[in-house]
């Protein structure tokens, strides 16, 4: 086989792969694009068969969602997401420190214990959690969600932060200690700045998980503490058309996460890629 054929083959394979990648990417993106387009339709256009491709965009659905009292839901989601993420970082960073840089005894057991709490499916414990919350009179209370989201994200945060701490070269910490820096000083001036991209990545993951969480929110809240995902399903009905309004609510709900991801993009790429701080 001559070199030219081989090069030609390589080029064609590359071309096919590129086309395939594009097709896959478009296939994955299409539902999102369709959701965004549907949000600007009228209900009968959204439900039509064959689908409506050309239409005059309208903001009616967004108006209906926003004026339908979405403020409480957004406020609840913001509290549940914000407070739980701060709590996770406050608890998770020291825990990760104790599992990497100054390891406690039986590190692997402790790590396994943390991750094992994620192995039980949530549907298996929802009834006990519901009953306990009912007895404690904390159903439909936003702080119940804060506690649950903190617990839900903590194992992931500990594991993520531990992997970032492990990449900090021991020499750097030694140098700090030789220079007379105590634990707090080392943390503040050396360690935290070095793993900042990792903290950003962890925080973003926690924000996304809490913001999107649906199952606890649906089962444990009613009118006072309901979050945005509950708002999305409440636009659905079993009689009558709802697709356009559902899509408008879903689009509004995904904006904050998209925005957060976009802002933290640079940090994220550094944080999520290997060798981030070397």
The residue behind tokens 């549940």 is: 80
Contact between 123 and other proteins per CB under 8 A:
yes
How many other C-beta atoms are found inside a 10 Å radius of the C-beta of residue 241?
14
To other proteins, the closest distance from the beta carbon of 239 in angstroms equals 5
Q: Does 75 bind other proteins (CB under 8 A)?
A: yes
Q: How many CB atoms lie within 10 A of CB 73?
A: 24
Give every CB contact of residue 156 below 8 A, 6+ residues apart in sequence. Answer: 118, 202, 205, 206, 209
Q: How far apart are CA 264 and CA 203, in angstroms?
A: 10
For other proteins, which residue of 3, 105, 171, 239 counts as binding (CB under 8 A)?
Answer: 239
By beta-carbon proximity to other proteins, the closer residue of 4 and 223 is 223
Site membership for other proteins, residue 67 (CB under 8 A): no
Q: Helix, strand, or coil here: 123?
A: helix
140 binds other proteins (CB under 8 A): yes
- Name residues whose C-beta falls within 8 Å of residue 272's C-beta, 6 or more positions apart in sequence: 201
Q: Which of 58, 141, 163, 254 binds other proteins (CB under 8 A)?
A: 141
Size of the site for other proteins (CB under 8 A): 63
Q: Is the dihedral of CA 277, 205, 114, 98 positive or negative?
A: positive
- Please give the residues from 152 up to 211 whose contact with other proteins meets the rule CB under 8 A: 152, 154, 209
Binding of residue 104 to other proteins (CB under 8 A): no
Only one of the segments 99-107, 139-147, 195-203, 256-264 lies at the binding site for other proteins (rule: CB under 8 A); that segment is 139-147
| CA neighbor of 154 nearest in space, from 183, 117, 119, 123 | 117
Nearer to other proteins, 3 or 239 (CB): 239
State which of residues 56, 238, 275, 278 lies at the interface with other proteins (CB under 8 A): 238
CB of 61 to other proteins, least distance (A): 14
Task: Work out how close the CB of 216 gets to other proteins at its nearest, in angstroms, rounded to a whole number.
Answer: 9
Token reading at 226: 């309901």
Helix (H, G, I), strand (E, B) or coil at 239: coil
**Least distance from C-beta 123 to other proteins, angstroms?**
6
83 vs 190, which CB is nearer to other proteins?
A: 83
Q: In the bound complex, what is the minimum distance in angstroms from residue 34's beta carbon to other proteins?
A: 18
Q: Is the peptide bond before 248 cis (omega within 30 degrees of 0)?
A: no
């Amino acid at each position: 086989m001559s070199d030219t054929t081989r090069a030609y083959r390589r080029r064609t394979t590359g071309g096919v792969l590129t086309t395939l990648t594009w097709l896959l990417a478009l296939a994955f993106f299409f539902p999102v694009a369709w959701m965004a387009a549907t949000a600007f339709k009228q209900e009968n256009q959204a439900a039509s068969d064959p689908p409506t491709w050309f239409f005059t965009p309208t903001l009616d659905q967004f108006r209906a969602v926003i004026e339908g009292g979405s403020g409480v839901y957004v406020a609840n989601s913001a509290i549940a997401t914000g407070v739980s993420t701060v709590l996770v970082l406050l608890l998770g960073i020291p825990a990760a420190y104790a599992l990497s840089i100054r390891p406690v005894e039986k590190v692997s057991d402790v790590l396994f214990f943390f991750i094992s709490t994620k192995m039980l499916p949530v549907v298996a414990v929802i009834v006990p959690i519901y009953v306990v919350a009912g007895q404690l009179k904390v159903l439909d209370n936003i702080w119940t969600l804060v506690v649950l989201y903190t617990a839900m994200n903590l194992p992931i945060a500990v594991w993520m932060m531990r992997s970032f701490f492990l990449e900090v070269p021991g020499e750097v910490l030694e140098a700090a200690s030789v220079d007379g820096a105590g634990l707090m000083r080392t943390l503040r001036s050396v360690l935290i700045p070095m793993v900042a991209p990792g903290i950003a990545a962890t925080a973003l993951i926690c924000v996304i998980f809490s913001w999107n969480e649906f199952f606890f929110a649906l089962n444990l809240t009613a009118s006072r503490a309901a979050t945005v995902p509950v708002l999305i399903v409440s636009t659905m009905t079993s009689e009558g058309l709802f697709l356009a309004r559902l899509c408008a609510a879903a689009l509004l709900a995904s904006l904050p996460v998209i925005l957060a991801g976009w802002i933290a993009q640079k940090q994220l790429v550094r944080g999520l890629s290997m060798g981030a701080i070397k």
